[in-house]
């Protein structure tokens, strides 16, 4: 427990309720002088991606927030200026799904190294997961976790607490959980196996989790899985072809992804029964996307996430052969990969998050011969925006849709709409300047990843974040992160309209 208020992480808890923001901007900007005059920072660009489309102009920042967007012709005075020219400016990326391994596994990553990698990748807000040691299964563990993160983070942060102990869910919500996370499995190797307290296979317990999270009003993030089916297909593959990375990849996709699809179906049925805000993680099959789409078409409180490795790495079997355990996570067969891109295009998928999951090379090397004993997970937080910008340049997706998936919709999911994820008056000045012509061959040696490797090694990208601004402060320029540990702040979700706070 924190002994006094001064020892608590600094919180960013003011937010709008996402309704009528422009009408009530004066309330959101309370405490900020609205008179014209000097700004702390002005960022000018011919391409500013706003909620109302692209525009040319100058973003005026005061006290860490966007006050206004001026036309180019308006004279604007500022203490600092960034002239981006024709380089696009987008909101800071919000990554709702990272595993920073801190505390407990800091030889793989810690909150400082992980958030420095995030800043280098244009990510200004992160939400980490509870499979740490100790896992965040109660309020005391959560408070300790947030205090540790606050001392190290260089970007803003929140935490998705463990929902594994239903009786503790209410106290976790009161202690500052952004959302809740549960794995529908007993453990899957690596840090998940070591921590415990993050997974459930008993469906009666899972139902109670849905009920308790529903009472908090927060989202429940579910890693969908059917462990009995997984055991069936894993045993078949081991008998047929052994235990290497190829056998593991095929086993997880056994029965045309029935392991994943059954998990999604169970989670959706519990959501229908209880009404919980369900966020389905790791959607990466045709049938999973269809199930999510059907629930959303009925107006149910369901959102879905895709991960960049499924779109750019494990969607190609040649990468599985080349990288072996370093590619895995989960193989995405070609026809499912195409369906996943379609789900991104049509809105079935709401959010893209990195699922940044570093492990040591020693842990991964085991997977060449026994992937069933090696941990799944790959580092990704620093590179996924670059991969999406490359897809933008190739005409596969629009920059506006990337902003929706990586900035705007994550802000809505986490209760930060109006405060994060958009370039608009009243929002935090979390901004990223892009160089859409920047060409690079990705290399872990040039990254901030503590684990020292990446499944994106050798991939050619076109487009990169070149300046990252967090609350009006430049924290990354041309790949160099210059920010003090502990300068990131805890964010908490909006708990109701302004009149109730």
Q: Does residue 274 surpass a pLDDT of 50?
A: yes
Mean pLDDT (whole number) for 445-450: 96
For 373-405, write each residue's pLDDT tens digit. Answer: 999 999 999 999 999 999 999 999 999 999 999
Tokens representing 471 are 């609350």
- Reduced to 3 states (helix: H, G, I; strand: E, B; else coil), residue 223 is strand
- Percent of the chain exceeding pLDDT 70 equals 89
Q: What span, in angstroms and rounded, lies between the C-alpha atoms of 174 and 159?
A: 13
264: exposed, middle or buried (Cβ count in 10 Å: 0-12, 13-18, 19+): buried
Mean pLDDT (whole number) for 455-478: 98
- Which strand (E) or helix (H) includes residue 466? strand 460-470
pLDDT number for residue 72: 79
Strand 78-83 relative to strand 39-50, pairing: parallel
Confidence of residue 137 (pLDDT cuts 50, 70, 90): very high
Q: Does residue 18 surpass a pLDDT of 50?
A: no
- Percent of the chain exceeding pLDDT 90 equals 87
Q: What span, in angstroms and rounded, lies between the C-alpha atoms of 179 and 187?
A: 20
The more confident residue out of 7 and 177 is 177
Confidence of residue 32 (pLDDT cuts 50, 70, 90): very low
Question: What are the beta bridge partners of residue 474?
Answer: 469
- For the chain, the average pLDDT equals 91
Mean pLDDT (whole number) for 231-250: 98
Strand 65-70 relative to strand 53-62, pairing: antiparallel
- Reduced to 3 states (helix: H, G, I; strand: E, B; else coil), residue 222 is strand
CA 269 to chain centre: 25
Q: What span, in angstroms and rounded, lies between the C-alpha atoms of 471 and 184?
A: 37
> Which residues are CB-contacts of 363 (< 8 A; sequence separation ≥ 6)?
190, 374, 375
Confidence of residue 135 (pLDDT cuts 50, 70, 90): very high
| Count of residues in the chain | 501
Q: Does residue 117 surpass a pLDDT of 80?
A: yes
User: Would you identify the CATH topology of the domain 93-413?
Assistant: TIM Barrel (3.20.20)
pLDDT number for residue 449: 97
Query: In whole angstroms, how far apart are CA 158 and each of 79, 258, 349, 399?
Result: 31, 33, 22, 26
* Strand locations in 5-38 (E): 11-12
What totals of helices (H) and strands (E) does the chain contain, helices first?
18, 19
Confidence of residue 9 (pLDDT cuts 50, 70, 90): low
> Which residues are CB-contacts of 210 (< 8 A; sequence separation ≥ 6)?
220, 270, 271, 273, 274, 276, 278
Q: Does residue 35 surpass a pLDDT of 60?
A: no
Q: What span, in angstroms and rounded, lies between the C-alpha atoms of 335 and 311?
A: 12
Q: Can 8-90+428-436+461-500 and 93-413 be said to share one CATH topology? A: no
- Which strand (E) or helix (H) includes residue 317? helix 317-323
- Reduced to 3 states (helix: H, G, I; strand: E, B; else coil), residue 67 is strand
Q: Does residue 318 surpass a pLDDT of 60?
A: yes
The more confident residue out of 197 and 249 is 249
Query: 8-90+428-436+461-500 domain in CATH 3.40.630.30?
Result: no
Strand 123-128 relative to strand 278-280, pairing: unpaired
Q: Does residue 26 surpass a pLDDT of 90?
A: no
Q: Side-chain half-sphere of 21: how many Cα atoms within 13 Å? A: 18
Tokens representing 258 are 């029935």
pLDDT number for residue 8: 47
For 161-220, write each residue's pLDDT tens digit. Answer: 999 999 999 999 999 999 999 999 986 444 345 557 899 999 999 999 999 999 999 999
Confidence of residue 73 (pLDDT cuts 50, 70, 90): confident
Tokens representing 470 are 């967090």
Asked if residue 55 lies in contact with residue 92, where contact means CB atoms within 8 angstroms, the answer is no
* Strand locations in 38-129 (E): 39-50, 53-62, 65-70, 78-83, 89-91, 93-98, 123-128
Q: What span, in angstroms and rounded, lies between the C-alpha atoms of 119 and 202?
A: 39
- Reduced to 3 states (helix: H, G, I; strand: E, B; else coil), residue 182 is strand
For 344-377, write each residue's pLDDT tens digit. Answer: 999 999 999 999 999 999 999 999 999 999 999 9
Q: What span, in angstroms and rounded, lies between the C-alpha atoms of 159 and 145?
A: 9
Q: What span, in angstroms and rounded, lies between the C-alpha atoms of 62 and 428?
A: 10
Cis peptide before 103 (omega within 30 of 0): yes
Q: What is the value of pTM for the model shown?
A: 0.92
Q: Does residue 91 surpass a pLDDT of 90?
A: yes
Domain ranges of the chain: 8-90+428-436+461-500, 93-413
Range in 3-17, 142-156, 480-494 the model is least confident about: 3-17
Asked if residue 119 lies in contact with residue 475, where contact means CB atoms within 8 angstroms, the answer is yes
Report phi then psi at 36, rounded to 5.
-75, 160
pLDDT number for residue 12: 57
**Cβ atoms within 10 A of the Cβ of 105, count?**
21
Tokens representing 477 are 């320029």
Mean pLDDT (whole number) for 253-273: 98
């Amino acid at each position: 427990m924190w002994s006094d208020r001064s020892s608590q992480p600094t919180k960013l808890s003011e937010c709008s309720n996402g309704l009528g923001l422009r009408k009530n901007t004066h309330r959101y900007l309370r405490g900020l002088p609205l008179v014209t005059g000097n700004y702390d920072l002005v960022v000018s660009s011919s391409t500013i991606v706003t909620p109302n489309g692209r525009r040319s102009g100058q973003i005026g920042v005061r006290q860490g927030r966007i006050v206004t967007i001026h036309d180019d012709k308006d004279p604007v005075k500022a203490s600092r200026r960034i002239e981006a020219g024709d380089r696009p400016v987008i909101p800071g990326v919000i990554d709702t799904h990272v595993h920073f391994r801190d505390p407990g596994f800091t030889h793989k990553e810690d909150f400082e190294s992980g958030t420095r990698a995030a800043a280098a990748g244009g990510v200004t807000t992160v939400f980490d997961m509870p499979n740490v040691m100790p896992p965040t299964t109660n309020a005391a563990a959560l408070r300790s976790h947030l205090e540790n993160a606050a001392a190290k983070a260089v970007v803003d942060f929140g935490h998705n607490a463990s929902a594994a102990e239903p009786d503790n869910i209410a106290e976790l919500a009161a202690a500052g959980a952004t959302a809740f996370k549960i794995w529908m499995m007993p453990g899957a190797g690596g840090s998940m196996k070591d921590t415990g307290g993050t997974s459930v296979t008993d469906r009666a317990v899972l139902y109670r989790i849905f009920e308790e999270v529903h009472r908090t009003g927060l989202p429940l993030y579910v890693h969908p899985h059917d462990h009995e089916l997984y055991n069936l297909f894993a045993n078949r593959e081991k008998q047929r072809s052994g235990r290497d990375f190829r056998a593991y990849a095929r086993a997880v996709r056994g029965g045309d992804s029935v392991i994943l699809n059954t998990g999604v179906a169970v989670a959706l049925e519990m959501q229908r029964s209880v009404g919980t805000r369900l966020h389905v993680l790791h959607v990466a099959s045709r049938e999973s996307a269809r199930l999510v789409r059907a629930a959303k078409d009925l107006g149910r409180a369901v959102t879905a996430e895709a991960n960049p490795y499924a779109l750019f790495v494990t969607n190609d079997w040649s990468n599985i052969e080349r990288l072996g355990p370093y590619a895995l996570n989960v193989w995405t067969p070609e026809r499912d990969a195409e369906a996943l891109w379609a789900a991104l295009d049509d809105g079935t998928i709401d959010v893209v998050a990195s699922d940044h999951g570093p492990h040591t090379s020693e842990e991964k090397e085991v997977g060449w011969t026994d992937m069933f004993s090696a941990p799944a997970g790959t580092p990704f937080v620093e590179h996924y925006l670059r991969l999406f910008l490359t897809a933008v340049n190739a005409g596969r997706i629009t920059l506006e849709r990337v902003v929706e998936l990586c900035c705007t919709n994550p802000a809505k999911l986490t209760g930060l709409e109006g405060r994060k994820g958009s370039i608009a008056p009243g929002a935090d000045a979390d901004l990223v300047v892009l160089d859409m012509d920047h060409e690079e061959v990705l290399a872990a040696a040039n990254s901030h990843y503590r684990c020292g490797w990446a499944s994106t090694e050798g991939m050619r990208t076109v487009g990169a974040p070149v300046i990252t601004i967090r609350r009006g402060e430049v924290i990354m320029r041309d790949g160099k992160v210059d920010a003090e540990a502990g300068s990131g702040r805890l964010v908490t979700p909006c708990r109701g309209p302004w009149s109730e706070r």
